[in-house]
């Protein structure tokens, strides 16, 4: 099962220490609601783990593209 961490710098450091893919809010902002890039990201992973502070920001950063057909844990 492939998954990615969406979080702050502390979460990114822990994920990299364990060899898990991770993205920060800056990485998500770079996608800039680009539907093709978001769909590509959604297909790449089976699930996303997000920190509490980032969960409410995900729809604003990515739009509805990530939530369609994907589940977040």
User: Is 18 among the domain residues?
Assistant: yes
* CATH classification at residue 9: 3.40.50.790
User: Is 45 among the domain residues?
Assistant: yes
Count of the separate structural domains present in the chain: 1
User: Is 73 among the domain residues?
Assistant: no
User: Is 14 among the domain residues?
Assistant: yes
| Residue-number span of the structural domain to which 16 is assigned | 3-65
Per-residue pLDDT at 73: 52
Integer Cα distance of 16 and 68 in angstroms: 27
Q: What does the pLDDT profile of the chain (73 residues) look like in tens digits? A: 889 999 999 999 999 999 999 999 999 888 887 888 888 888 899 888 998 888 888 888 887 766 655 555 5
Burial of 1 (0-12, 13-18, 19+ CB in 10 A): exposed
Per-residue pLDDT at 52: 85
Would you say the C-alpha torsion 26, 30, 33, 35 has a positive or negative sign? negative
User: Is 26 among the domain residues?
Assistant: yes
Per-residue pLDDT at 24: 92
Per-residue pLDDT at 10: 92
């Amino acid at each position: 099962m492939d998954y990615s961490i969406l979080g702050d710098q502390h979460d990114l450091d822990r994920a990299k220490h364990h060899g898990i893919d991770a993205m920060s809010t800056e990485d998500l902002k770079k996608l800039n609601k680009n539907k093709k890039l978001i769909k590509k990201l959604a297909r790449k992973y089976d699930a996303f783990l997000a920190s509490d502070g980032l969960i409410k920001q995900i729809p604003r950063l990515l739009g509805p593209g990530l939530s369609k057909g994907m589940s977040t844990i």
